[in-house]
Structure 1
């Protein structure tokens, strides 16, 4: 009997390792293939300037202060850049990918500890294939770092809830405040929300008032404030930005009196199902069943449902809302789905979970079949509105769809050999299809789509064309703030010129208009980098100073609308015939 139990234990441990390997595949495969997107440029540009100046306490973009996030995530990227000897898309995204895998591991361990190995594995499989985790794990941002510290803190709490001593509290607070130094105090608040229901139910809250807890809390708070204090004490004369002031503005002020991102209060009603896609049908069914049969559930499931409710209420009450802000709820949603799924037999009189499971099955298999049909149609009879050849993306879609269908056929047989629990046998094929579909999209198809834009080629041409142009004669024109991504890719050793575009210039004395006029009228070699929509909308007295067409520009994507094409970047070279490249000039990386 013991030999049989050991055999099953070893098999389960191998399954845990296999799940973590799959999480690594989704997080790391082709991670650096796509060019930077959106806010990723800010992280990359800040690290580049930190490495160039040697100042790691005063983040800047194009030489201007930019301290809207704490410093630890920047330091993680900078450390990886120092170790690898380079700074590129892969290095910038690596901390997020590592944090994503860490979140999966912590969720697996938490499910195993509070319920069973089956719950841990099912929750981990749901989490690692969820849209929210995959998308954020493959971005240069601080959201998965925030999520990882949250799940590690919750796991540590449950591991030590009956061993409250100084070490327990110290490790807990160090994890919490390290997370707060990645994205902000929201890590501490959500961790407190996660602990609160259990602490109140068992009157364990009193332990947090003990001297051991208060002493450890003091150390944690000191750890949090040290980087900000040092930054303030060592501020250069030209650096007019306070990290603590921006923590207040970006967190406290945003919560009570938001200045942007004012989405409706119902935002998270549809954001949570979106983040847990493709598992939304099964999660919704589990949530309904969990609430309906709340009295039948164990005390740990009670805690879980309360935590999901409190996290949802907290983010909903915040005045500033964006869909990914509520990412911390996703591991708990995955755990609830796993808990209810493993107890389906107890609710045999209800059709809630069977219906949710059948809908989930139909959606996953339907998506694979639909992708195969659509890809075949695009390959055989591509629509004229696409504007470009769809061969490569069609082939990628066909391969992903066929792999998903193959997984659906093969994995039920494998599941009978690998797992014992009937619930795991049910979910295993669905998880395999989800892994192929989601992994195929994020790791293969999205990169294939980027090839149409040829942004790597565009960036390479920018670097080549501007390599010998002085920084102050390279202008980035934009409507809001300077595009940090372009600053990073230009890779200059000093700030480039920023020209601010306005929908309506106030007149000849308008400072922004005069700056654009001055830059364009110069007889020195120069380059204007801007989106086509801004150049086309310039007043006649400015547009006539530019060449009739850009020297080169980004290529369009398939099915791109006319308005989207105007958002493509272009490069207008000025007086390029008057100057030959100098000798000895080098880019930052070459230096």
Structure 2
């Protein structure tokens, strides 16, 4: 069957290319766009991030980011602009908020596909070229981290896609030095997306690609030749043309406040000290790298050892195929090492490393250097990774079946565990995982020589099945059981509030309330903090609205008869509290 497919692809190059692009497009739709708007905004980060572009659309000020009535300089504007543009094109909705991130994730998938096609040896058949390009790009589209952040409207995907596209542009320029059109295109992509990455997150958008490229060229002993052949004036002009206008405009509009907050706090302080209570040990990102690129990360040891990185001569004597894998390794190591050195740590920070890791693994299964066989020790290592992969899939299938019994009841969402159990979701997840496990074991026990080359296939098929079967059910259930109450009560607060009446959110900082209520919100943890914030903002209202779960309102000190009930949904309430009562509650505690 595979031979017949190869024969058809080789005989019809144009149709083969269209088929591969259509398959990849379908995979991106399934991974990033399927049920994209069925889930309400997630707290805290997405709820915060999406409100900023909504304010830009309302105010017409596309220079100064604002959130909850204040300027917000934690991030630059690229992500806000993309979401704001989406709001203007499609209307304000969760789908429109996430569409730009899904588009950015898809762009990198197709860029990997295009790069692998451009770098394929001319002696290869059409089926070999398309097979490798589709495999490497498909593995990225089926990486949990890329899928998760590609479906979330936060800044991480905008930075990761900018850095990834810049590095892929460099790869095209470097390996196609003999083709001026492709080399110029690669340089344009490099400069353009370095600029976009800086607009998405700041200086790190230039620093990381620069470190990867310099490190790679040094190991290749090719730094100075590449420096001499690079059109620096054109690249610098393009980069500055993308980045400078907004930074200049933001500085003119906000002065030192912008520079101090953005450069000082959001960049330097985030790197040198822990902010927002997000610390982590030096090895923090190792388990996260495993999870973000699972199951492909299980094959990283084999992919790395295949390069024999301990032999210096391999770095500058390797052919183009092996050098591309080396580039993927440097990409992966630099990103993880850089953020491991930072004091503040969050899983999404190493998202730019995922394409490098997946490229490395993809080239293990489909090398760019045809005819290079694996030594026996590498086959044994790859087989061992495959068996570990199979065991992990089996354990995950078992965990999915047992999940309803293991989920603890959350007082804020008392019906969630039962809803999971009765949705059929555990079996929808377990069956594809078990099927992938069985197929993987069959491949590992098979006696034909090419079996190890196909270890990716059961994983990919299982992942596709999970995306098709689980995402629609899970998104609907999560929204109904965990997100809908806050969304409904936030909108009710907007409709019920008297003129000038403040809205408070008790306990967990549900930033999405600002978006759904369309008004400023005070986030409080007890009655005393509520009084302090009301006095600090000179809000002399006779009453306040308070939104929170039953437990959070109890922690606030609100007892029976203390407040007017305006709305209830599951274990969450919206209440009106007299200012006098709030003062009394603060004195009790």
* TM-score, normalised relative to structure 1: 0.78
Please say if 1:427 is aligned against 2:456.
Answer: yes
In the alignment, the residues of structure 1 paired with residue 234 and residue 17 of structure 2 have an alpha-carbon distance, to the nearest angstrom, of: 40
**TM-superposed deviation, 1:250:** 1.5
CA 1:391–1:529: 2 relative to 1, 3 Å = closer
Q: Give the secondary structure class of the aligned counterpart of 1:570.
A: strand
Contact 2:208-2:334 within 8 A present in 1 as well: no
Q: How does 1:303-322 map to 2 (within 5 A)?
A: 303-322=327-346
**In structure 1, C-alpha distance between the alignment counterparts of 2:63 and 2:73, rounded to whole Å:** 9
Task: After TM superposition, give the deviation of residue 363 of structure 1 in Å.
Answer: 2.5
Alignment partners' CA distance in 2, 1:289 and 1:167: 31
**C-alpha separation in 2, matches of 1:108 and 1:124:** 5
Structure 1 residues 45 and 347: CA distance shift in structure 2, 3 A: same
Q: How does 1:311-350 map to 2 (within 5 A)?
A: 311-342=335-366, 345-350=373-378
SS at match of 1:429: helix
What are the equivalent positions in structure 2 for 1:261-280 lying under 5 Å apart?
261-280=278-297
Relative distance call for 1:143 and 1:100 in structure 2 (3 A) is same
* Residue deviations 1:489-517 (CA, integer Å, cap 9, x gap): 0124xxx45264459769xxx74486799
Aligned residue number for residue 589 of structure 1: none
Map 1:65-80 → 2, pairs under 5 A:
65-80=71-86
Residues 184 and 258 (structure 1 numbering): CA distance in 2 closer, same or farther, change over 3 Å?
Answer: same
Q: What's 2:587 paired with?
A: none
1:183-222 paired onto structure 2 within 5 Å: 183-200=201-218, 201=220, 203-208=222-227, 212-222=231-241
Name the residue aligned to 2:145.
132
Distance (Å, rounded) in 2 between the aligned partners of 1:82 and 1:4: 42
What's the counterpart of residue 108 of structure 1?
113
Deviation at 1:334, TM superposition (A): 0.9
In the aligned structure 1, how far is the partner of 2:208 from the partner of 2:72? 26
Deviation for aligned residue 1:135: 1.0
- 1:561 corresponds to: none
From the superposition, tell whether residues 197 and 62 of structure 1 become closer, same or farther in structure 2 (CA, over 3 Å): closer
What corresponds to 2:573 in structure 1? 570
Q: 1:518 to 1:42 in 2, by over 3 A?
A: closer
Q: Could you say which residue in structure 2 is the equivalent of 1:182?
A: 200
Q: How big is the shift at 1:311?
A: 2.5
Aligned in 2, Cα 1:177/1:391: closer, same or farther, shift over 3 Å? closer
TM-superposed deviation, 1:62: 2.3
- Give 1:170 shift: 4.4
Aligned 8 A contact 2:393 2:436 in 1: no
Say which of 268, 288, 302 aligns to 2:326: 302
Secondary structure of 2:351 counterpart: helix
Q: Answer yes or no: is the 8 Å Cα contact 1:476–1:528 preserved in 2.
A: yes
Equivalent residues of 1:477, 1:498 under 8 A apart: yes
Poorly superposed stretches of 4+, deviation over 6 Å:
1-4, 164-167, 381-386, 406-413, 503-506, 515-520
- What root-mean-square deviation, in Å, do the aligned CA atoms of Structure 1 and Structure 2 show? 4.0
What does the per-residue CA deviation read over 1:347-398, in whole Å, with 9 as the maximum and x for residues that have no partner? 2344100110222134335534653x437x87xx999999543377541332
Aligned residue in 2 for 1:469:
497
Q: Residues 279 and 344 of structure 2 are in contact (CA less than 8 Å); yes or no, is this contact kept in structure 1?
A: yes
Partner of 2:34: 29
Question: Which has the higher mean CA deviation after the structures are superposed, 457-466 or 132-141?
Answer: 457-466
CA–CA distance in 1 between the matches of 2:21 and 2:185? Answer: 28
**2:352 is paired with a residue of what secondary structure?**
helix
Q: Mapping of 1:7-86 within 5 angstroms? A: 7=12, 10-11=15-16, 14-37=19-42, 38-84=44-90, 86=91
Distance in 2 between the 1:410 and 1:325 partners? 34
Q: Which runs of 5+ in 1 are unaligned?
A: 414-419, 557-568, 576-591
The offset of 1:139, in angstroms, is 0.8
For 1:186 and 1:473, locate their aligned partners in 2 and report how far apart those are by CA, in whole Å: 42
- Residue 91 of structure 1 and its aligned partner are, at CA, apart by 0.8
Deviations 1:207-236 (A, max 9, x none): 44678313431441243121121133345x
Matched, 1:287 2:304: yes
Change in Cα spacing, 1:293 to 1:394, as seen in structure 2 (3 Å) is farther
Q: Note the alpha carbon deviations across 1:443-484, whole angstroms, 9 max, x for none.
A: 43243233223x33552344235415235213224579x743
